[in-house]
Amino acid sequence: MLRIQLHPDGSEQLPEALVATLETLAMAFDGVRSDQGVAPLTSLEIVVSDDLAGAVREFDSAVIGDESKENFHTDRVGGVVVGKTMYRDEEHRQPVLVMSRGSIDVSTPINHAHTTFLVAHELAHTLIGQMRHEAGVRTPPAEVPWETCKWLARYAFEEYRADSIADVILGATASVTEEDGGSRPMTVRDAHFGANEFGELAATALRRIVGRIHEYRVSGKELSEMWLDVQTTTGEILIALAHGQAAHDGPRNAADPITSESDFGPMHSCWKTLHELFHSEPIVPAVDEFADQERALVEAAGTAILEFWKGIGLTFRDDSDPFYIEVAPPALCWC
């Protein structure tokens, strides 16, 4: 069932210790599926590539999904993408994981822990995607803002949940020795950069889109381009905050939001709402509860995202095709 290969040269061999780690993690998620009553995978491919974006693009015609992989790139607000999960089938039982070769290495204990977390994060996506299909829930992409916001919320929640699951897996496989000689489960904060870095990157991106909106106020040009930039960057900000918040919270502990009113303005209240919603749900829900939980969460989170857009000066009406964007003057918004 499990196939591990290098891209593009499938004849080269990966280190045995790395292969063993990947096999162990795959078996761990087989166990989670069994415990949750989720159907076993029919196949699992892990592709290790020096060119992650190129490898993902090559799969464009072989995988299903709402997004084309033809223009996939790895640059994001939160850094560089090092893993991508895709599916060959509608049932999500034939996932393909593409991992950046430079990001997975088990030659030292800290590298092993880092690799464990990254691969477990992608394997968590396969579990969540399969549970979502079995629960019969979909939040498809949409053109109108009052639906797009739900899509963005769903993605951010999945990243938070995948990080939380990966943190549990990491803690079950590695420990940290304290100064007093005691030990505790390792967390992502021990093996990976955490909340502060993600928060700083998100704050910088937020300032950029606020500036982008003001450029439109001055020029009156390229409204559609401005809106596309704002909604795309909003999604990346939310995902960066999800990664940072998951590291800050740990797998089982609620913490304060990593945002602040001074640095994030209306995104702070938005993120506070999303964080409360995210942490109110179990890390791994029961399949028969998944649909109701996700629908309620994306509805509430979507409303919070609309309020954020209003806070930075954008409101929307459905009285034109496909919708009308109203841009408020600086005195009426955070800028």
Instruction: Output the six-digit token pair for 155.
Output: 């993605």
What does the pLDDT look like over 219-276, one tens digit per residue? 999 999 999 999 999 999 999 999 999 999 987 676 799 999 999 999 999 999 999 9
What does the pLDDT look like over 292-316, one tens digit per residue? 999 999 999 999 999 999 999 999 9
The whole-angstrom separation of Cα 32 and Cα 285 is 11
**What is the pLDDT tens value at each position of the chain, 335 positions in all?**
899 988 887 667 899 999 999 999 999 999 999 999 999 999 999 999 999 999 999 998 899 887 777 778 888 887 789 999 999 999 999 999 999 999 999 999 999 999 999 999 999 999 999 999 999 987 777 789 999 999 999 999 999 999 999 999 999 998 888 888 889 998 888 877 567 889 999 999 999 999 999 999 999 999 999 999 999 999 999 999 999 999 999 876 767 999 999 999 999 999 999 999 998 888 888 999 999 999 999 999 999 999 999 999 999 998 888 899 999 999 999 98
31's CB contacts (< 8 A; 6+ apart) are: none
263 within 8 A of 202, measured Cβ to Cβ: no
Nearest C-alpha neighbor of 26 from the set 10, 4, 48: 4
The whole-angstrom separation of Cα 13 and Cα 20 is 13
189 within 8 A of 201, measured Cβ to Cβ: no
Q: Which residue shows structure tokens 């841009």?
A: 327
Q: Which residue shows structure tokens 């209306």?
A: 266
- Residue 129: count of CB within 10 angstroms of its CB: 19
Nearest C-alpha neighbor of 101 from the set 29, 4, 188, 172: 4
Could you tell me the CA-to-CA distances from 48 to 8, 12, 51, 119, 128 in Å, in that order?
A: 9, 11, 9, 11, 22
Model-level pTM?
0.94
The whole-angstrom separation of Cα 100 and Cα 110 is 17
Q: Which residue shows structure tokens 């996932």?
A: 95
pLDDT at 53: 93
Q: Measured at the alpha carbon of residue 75, what is the angle toward residues 72 and 77, in degrees to the nearest 5?
A: 125
